Structure 1
C-alpha cells in the first residue's frame, strides 16, 4: 500500500514510541516524513533506517511557539509542501493533586496541549493549500479519568475536545481533524509499568484483547485517519484500546 506517495507528513515526538511507529508507517507507505522531537540522537536513530531522500530529522521543542514555527518552515524548505500533521508529542506526571507542583502541571500542559495548538497554528496555512489532514494523539485518559493523573487527564481532555472544535471549524475548508485515543501502549513513557507484573495483570484483566498496545497498533490507525480511505471522517476521537472502552467498569466474570 502506497497511500502517501508524494505526500509530506510531519510527526512530532517521532524519536520513540507511537511517534516513531507512525513515522515508520508513513515512510513505508511512500511519504516524505519529517521527524520532530527534542532529542537529536533519538531522531537520528529513527532516520538512519528510513529512506534519506524522503526523511528530515528536525530537533524541536514543540511546546514552544518558535520551535513549532521553525519546524514547519524547515519542512517547507526541504519538501515544499505539507499534507499531514501528526501531533504526538506528549509526557505525563503522576500523583495526587496536592503533590503536583505548578511546574509539573505546566510541563504536562505545555507538552501535551500547547504543542498541538502551536503546531496546528503554524501548519494550518499550508494544510489549507493541500486540503490536508491533522491527526492528534490523545488518549483514553482524554475521555475518562484516571487515578492520580489529573494533569494528564486535563491535557488529553483538551486535545480530545480541541479535535472536535477544529473539525467543525475546518471541515468546509477541506482540512480533516481526527484523533486516536490509545490505552496503555508499550513505549518509553510506560517502560516502568511494563516491569510491574501486578499492575500489568490488572491491565490485561480490563482489556478484552488481553494485552497492551504496541506502537505499530496505533500507527496503523493514525495512517488510516490521515489517508483518503478516511476522506469522509472528521471530528472523530477513535479509541484504539483493545476494547477497553466497551466495558462499563464491572470486573471480568469467570
Structure 2
C-alpha cells in the first residue's frame, strides 16, 4: 500500500485491544506508529512486541500519555513529530467503562468515564489539529454502538459514547475545509480486554481487534473525495438469545 507507506500515526490506548490491532495493521502497511498508554512500561512493552511481530523495528515507539490532560496529549504529539518528522493520522481510541445503575454509579466513576472517553477525544484532536492541518491528515475516533443505543446501567458509558459520536461529526464539519478527513467507528461486541474481559475461543463470533484494523486501512485508502464519516460495525452472527 504505497499510499500509506511513510505516513505517521498516533494511537491513544494502543497497548491492547482495538488500539493494538490498529497499530499492527498500520505497521504492516508501512505506517510509522506512536502508541500511548498511561504507563510508560506498558507503552514500551507493547511497542517492542509489535515491532517484533511486524518486523518494523524502527517504525514504532511507545509513549506515556494521559488523554485526560491536554498538556499530556500535546507532549505526545510533539514526541511523534520529533521522532518521525510529521503527523498524518490520529486514532482516538483510549477508553474505559464503569457500568452501574444511576443509584450506584459514583461521581468518581462518572468523571473517570467522561474524562477518558469524551474529554480524552477532545484533547487528542485539540492537541494535534495544527499538525494535521499541515499534512491534510485523518482523524478516526473509536466510539461504540453504545453511542447510538442506550442500555440499563450504561448511563456514564452511553453519555460518553453518544458524546464521542456527536463531537466527531461536528469536528468533521469544522475541519474538512482544511482537507482533514474525520470519521468515527462505532463497533458492537469486540473481543478485547475491555472492562476485565479475557478474549477466548468462545468469543470467536465477536468482532476481533484485527477486523477494526482492516477497517481503518480501508478508510485511509478511500479516494480523498469520499468520506465515510460514521461507520457502525457489528458481529455478523451473534449467539441466539433463545
Question: What's the TM-score, normalizing by structure 1?
Answer: 0.86
Q: How does 1:66-215 map to 2 (within 5 A)?
A: 66-192=71-197, 211-215=205-209
1:185-212 deviation per Cα after TM superposition (whole angstroms, max 9, x unaligned) = 11111544868x8xx7xxxxxxxxx821
Matched, 1:223 2:217: yes
Instruction: Determine helix, strand or coil for the equivalent of 1:34.
Output: strand
Q: Judging changes above 3 Å, is the alpha-carbon distance between structure 1 residues 56 and 102 closer, same or farther for their aligned structure 2 residues?
A: same
1:40 Cα shift? 2.5
Sort the Cα spacing of 1:130 and 1:74 in 2 relative to 1 into closer, same or farther, 3 A. same
Distance 2:32 2:199 in 1: 33
Would the aligned equivalents of 1:163 and 1:235 in 2 still touch at CA under 8 Å?
A: no
Question: Superposition RMSD on alpha carbons, in Å?
Answer: 2.3
More helix by share: 1
Q: Which residue of 2 aligns with 1:23?
A: 23
**In 2, distance between residues paired with 1:154 and 1:233?**
29
Any idea what SS the aligned residue of 1:82 has? coil
Are the equivalent residues in 1 in contact too, given 2:192–2:199 (CA < 8 A)?
Answer: no
Partners of 1:70 and 1:161 in 2: how far apart? 26
Contact 2:98 2:157 in 1 (8 A): yes
Q: Is it true that 1:63 corresponds to 2:68 in the alignment?
A: yes
The answer for the alignment partner of 1:236 in structure 2 is: 229
What whole-Å deviation, never above 9, does each CA across 1:140-187 have from its counterpart, x for those lacking one? 000111221110100011110111101111112100100110111111
Instruction: Work out the CA distance in 2 between the residues paired with 1:95 and 1:5.
Output: 44
Query: Do the aligned partners of 1:168 and 1:235 also contact (CA within 8 Å) in 2?
Result: no
Task: Map residues 32-51 of structure 1 onto 2, 5 A cutoff.
Answer: 32-49=32-49, 50=51, 51=56
Asked whether the equivalents of residues 43 and 64 of structure 2 are also in contact (C-alpha less than 8 Å), the reply is yes
Give SS of 1:48's match.
Answer: helix
Contact 1:167 1:234 in 2 (8 A): no
What 5-or-longer segments of structure 2 have no aligned partner?
none
Query: SS of the counterpart of 2:20?
Result: helix
- State the TM-score, normalizing by the size of structure 2: 0.90
